[in-house]
């Protein structure tokens, strides 16, 4: 399919802040969009052509989510803010590992064209982020690893797994690392 043609896209985490805005943006570009989340958006209805409530910790849900899709934007994560991610290491790491492992394999099996994995600045060592006058972080500063406990380690692992799916399975992937995202319809 040509890159400028209308694409069939799935956005996981479409009930969250970034995912909700991404659905709007993709729709404005003329794409057909399936939104998937364990919850509906908090502040307004989704503009997705198809919005599916699903628990992506289950492989079958991931398979249904990517079925018939050209592109996957995987934003789904167990994420409840810094207070949550610093006190729930085991359950959060388990939940996000299941989501990311299943989404990659389901995408591979479904023959998805392109896959975007959304990571976090939590993969960087916290000592690089302690000063308010911090210099911009660089990709190579994530290794040697000393990420945020739980959430950061899982995100760093999922980045590597996503890279392996590219190298060994030919999945066309991109990885982005978000840092301090906020704006309209966001929750603190």
d(CA 108, CA 96) in angstroms, rounded, equals 18
Residue 169 pLDDT more than 80? yes
Largest Cα span, the chain: 46
Residue 1 pLDDT more than 50? no
d(CA 24, CA 19) in angstroms, rounded, equals 9
> Would you place residue 186 in the very low, low, confident or very high pLDDT band (cuts 50, 70, 90)?
low
Has this prediction a pTM greater than 0.75?
yes
The pLDDT assigned to 2 comes to 44
Q: Which of 71-75, 112-116, 129-133 is predicted least confidently? A: 129-133
CB-based contact 165:108 (threshold 8 Å): yes
Q: What tens digit of pLDDT does each residue of 66-80 get?
A: 999 999 999 999 987
Domain boundaries, the chain: 8-121+151-178
Name the active-site residue from 151, 164, 165, 188: 151
121 token code pair:
């600045």
Residue closest to 91 by CA, chosen among 80, 101, 102: 80
The mean pLDDT of 159-170, rounded to a whole number, is: 96
CATH number of 8-121+151-178: 3.40.50.720
Q: What tens digit of pLDDT does each residue of 144-163 get?
A: 777 778 888 888 899 999 99
> Would you place residue 172 in the very low, low, confident or very high pLDDT band (cuts 50, 70, 90)?
very high
Active-site residue, 117 included:
no
1 token code pair:
């399919």
Q: Which of 41-50, 64-73, 96-105 is predicted least confidently? A: 41-50
Q: Which residue has the higher pLDDT, 142 or 19?
A: 19
C-alpha pair distances (Å), 179 with each of 2, 54, 72, 104, 122: 32, 26, 21, 23, 8
């Amino acid at each position: 399919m040509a890159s400028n043609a209308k694409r069939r896209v799935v956005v996981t985490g479409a009930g969250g802040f970034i995912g909700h805005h991404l659905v709007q943006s993709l729709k404005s570009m003329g794409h057909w969009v399936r939104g998937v989340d364990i919850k509906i958006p908090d502040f307004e209805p989704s503009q997705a052509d198809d919005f599916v409530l699903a628990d992506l910790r289950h492989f079958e849900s991931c398979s249904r989510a990517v079925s018939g899709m050209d592109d996957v934007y995987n934003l789904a994560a167990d994420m409840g803010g810094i207070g949550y991610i610093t006190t729930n290491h085991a359950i959060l790491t388990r939940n996000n590992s299941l989501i990311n492992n299943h989404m990659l394999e389901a995408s591979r099996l479904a023959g998805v064209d392109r896959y975007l994995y959304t990571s976090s600045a939590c993969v960087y060592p916290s000592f690089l982020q302690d000063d308010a006058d911090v210099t911009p972080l660089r990709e190579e500063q994530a290794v040697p690893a000393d990420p945020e406990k739980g959430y950061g380690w899982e995100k760093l692992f999922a980045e590597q797994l996503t890279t392996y799916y590219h190298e060994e399975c030919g999945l066309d992937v991109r990885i982005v690392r978000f840092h301090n995202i906020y704006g309209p319809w966001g929750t603190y």
